[in-house]
Amino acid sequence: MCGRTACNLRCETYCKATSYKKRNDTLYCQPEWLDEMNGNFEFKQSNNIAPTDVTPILVSGEEFVGYPSRILTPMIWGMIPPWHKGNFNNHGLSTNNCRIENVTNSKLYSEPLTNGKRCIVICEGFYEWKTTEGVGKKKPYFIHMPQKNGVSVYDTNAWESAQWTEQSGWNGPSLIQLAGIYNKWKSPHGEVYSYSVITMESSKTFSQLHHRIPAVLDNEQLIEDWLDTRRVSESRAISMLRPIDNLMWYEVSSIVNNSRNKSEDCNKPISKIVNKSSTFMTSWLAGKNKKTDSNDEDQMRKKQKN
């Protein structure tokens, strides 16, 4: 499953990190960022994105709004049923994930899938919780793509300072790109776009963490085929999805358990998080010792005078 992600980069950085070559072209280009399609639902950077939050979604511009290339646009996480009336987040269904086993015959997902509403959910990584044996307590982990040259996926500066050129494309860290389905919902105030992440049974490697895994698109050919709904039918597209084995993960702090906690520490390894209370105590003790040492010196001076 997938119930929390990290999307903490600037829009411009996501455009660079999802750059690609058009067919028969030798240079890289970036998707265009298009945010006016989803009304007042604005993407806000966070290392703790939860369902009903808004995230960047990669879609075929040709299918979405008649654009000739790919675009990035903000959408609500958790598909809103088109028949729903009322507030967008009170339809009562859990739609952040859709199971691949049921997607073709689902009342909610089969129609947008047939109509070519395939998308790609991009993020630095996602979170999963593993039950600790014999304890019953779940520990959170951050899952991401393998990174080159020892790059730390949680290091925002590594993303924001990375270079991009038309000749070489993106030279920064690797996003994780998940297969998704989106749809349009008509609210009293206009059209709203929302999406769900496709999940499946885990690979042998990932099953040690969780029995379900998002459908990861781990190469450019898969990405192109998933977005090209005119050339690749829905049945063929679904058959291409496989659980992958090369994901990486590490344990993170339980602060991520609360979706309202948007701390920069959410996706850092536990070993990299500075214990602020411990740091404060160390500083306080250092100051106290310094004061004590100063008093001792004063006492010594007085004794020497006497």
The end-to-end CA distance of the chain, in Å, is 77
Strands (E), 100-241: 118-123, 125-131, 138-144, 164-165, 169-170, 176-187, 190-201, 212-214
Which tokens hold the place of 102? 């049921």
* Residue 128 annotated to the active site: yes
* Residue 11 annotated to the active site: no
Task: Give the separation between CA 76 and CA 73, rounded to whole angstroms.
Answer: 10
Task: Give the separation between CA 118 and CA 180, rounded to whole angstroms.
Answer: 6
Any idea which residue has 């455009």 for tokens?
Answer: 15
The C-alpha angle with vertex 208 and arms to 204 and 214, in degrees rounded to 5, equals 70
DSSP conformation letters of 55-108 = EEEEEEHHHHTS-SSEEEEEEEESPPPTT--S-TT-S----SEEETTTTTT-TT
Contact 179, 217 (CB under 8 A): yes
Name the active-site residue from 15, 119, 123, 128: 128
263: which residues sit within 8 A by CB, 6+ positions away? 47, 48, 255
136: which residues sit within 8 A by CB, 6+ positions away? none
Catalytic residues: 2, 128
